[in-house]
Structure 1
């Protein structure tokens, strides 16, 4: 095995599911390990599925294992957590930060994080502040390469219907020509491609990607 071992957190989400398929079809990766809460209907010779209780830190660390790169696409919504901000933080902060902590200890060199447009730990609003805090803490682990992706609206086939988001996406598409480039909706496949491309470039340091950088060369 000469290719990379990639670990994916959030593999069943919109970006994560596209990312996993692309990794499995990419000869640069010999093993794709996904940590998921429940069984997934996906089989592939390169795929390793780990059913993980993310609140069990010993199990989480063990199943993260060793490898080259961690792709973190985890994320929830207020609707999914029924307005519980503490639970929201457990998912959107604790899971990616612990992946970074355990991954750094295990010798992973690259961490690739799906964040969000407007992420800012100093924001007075809950969502961008939380995303910014995640970025800041993970940057503190000093991976050889940290790649942060800040998409706006994600375009793709959702299993969950979110009325407000559907309306927002429709409006973004209608007025796309008026939308600043960083705020344009982006297809999840393009985000996944950008993540894999950044991984292969393996540039040291912290790098932040917006719409224009993510769709470049796609």
Structure 2
């Protein structure tokens, strides 16, 4: 097999799990390596499951290995970290940025990041400011291709229930006709498909995808 090697971080989340399934079924990719904190019940001839301690940078770098594309779909919530902003940052900032640092050194050509609508390093809101900081730092590493995907509400069935997000989705469904298009909810499978198609095109430079552009690719 002479296809590309993909590394997926955040492979058990809504977008990440859909992406892994699509990568495994696409002949353009001959190897799919997922970095996870604990064992997962997945089997496929193309799949490598690497249990990773993301806080151990040497181990993280070894598990990332070499390849062509890094897909970063990692993300947490304040509820999951019990309001701890330091822990939140260690997940949503450190893990993506270190993947970029190690990946660039290892020769990866493409980095594809799930960010968020409104990401801005100068935002007064912690969440969107952090997402903006991540985007800006990763851009400095100079990958041949850097693709940023900025969904609003993610629709679909998660392995882990998020109460706040469920409430938000319910409200979105009630008032979606009032929202600008970029703030509309999008299925996690559509975000994953947009990422897959972007990686296969191998377009150089920085590319940003909001709602409408992700659906064009999906």
TM-score (structure 2 length as normaliser): 0.98
1:67 paired to 2:35:
no
Q: Report the alpha carbon displacement of residue 176 of structure 1 after superposing the two structures with TM.
A: 2.1
**Paired residue for 1:85?**
85
Q: Report the alpha carbon displacement of residue 68 of structure 1 after superposing the two structures with TM.
A: 0.4
**Paired residue for 1:53?**
53
Q: How many residues align?
A: 218
Moved over 4 A (4+): none
Structure 1: which 5+ residue stretches go unaligned? none
**Paired residue for 2:4?**
4
Structure 2: which 5+ residue stretches go unaligned? none
Equivalents in 2 of 1:177, 1:83: separation in Å? 32
Equivalents in 1 of 2:63, 2:21: separation in Å? 20
Equivalents in 1 of 2:199, 2:159: separation in Å? 28
The two structures, once aligned, show a CA RMSD in angstroms of 0.8
Equivalents in 2 of 1:159, 1:65: separation in Å? 27
Q: Report the alpha carbon displacement of residue 174 of structure 1 after superposing the two structures with TM.
A: 2.2
**Paired residue for 1:21?**
21
Q: Report the alpha carbon displacement of residue 168 of structure 1 after superposing the two structures with TM.
A: 1.3
Equivalents in 2 of 1:52, 1:105: separation in Å? 19
Equivalents in 2 of 1:172, 1:205: separation in Å? 33
SS of 2:30's partner is strand
For the Cα contact (< 8 Å) 2:193–2:217, is it kept in 1?
no
For the Cα contact (< 8 Å) 2:115–2:150, is it kept in 1?
yes
> For residues 105-142 of structure 1, what are the alpha-carbon distances to aligned partners after superposition, in whole Å with 9 as ceiling and x for unaligned?
00000000000000000011110010000000000001
**Paired residue for 1:41?**
41
TM-score (structure 1 length as normaliser): 0.98
**Paired residue for 1:193?**
193
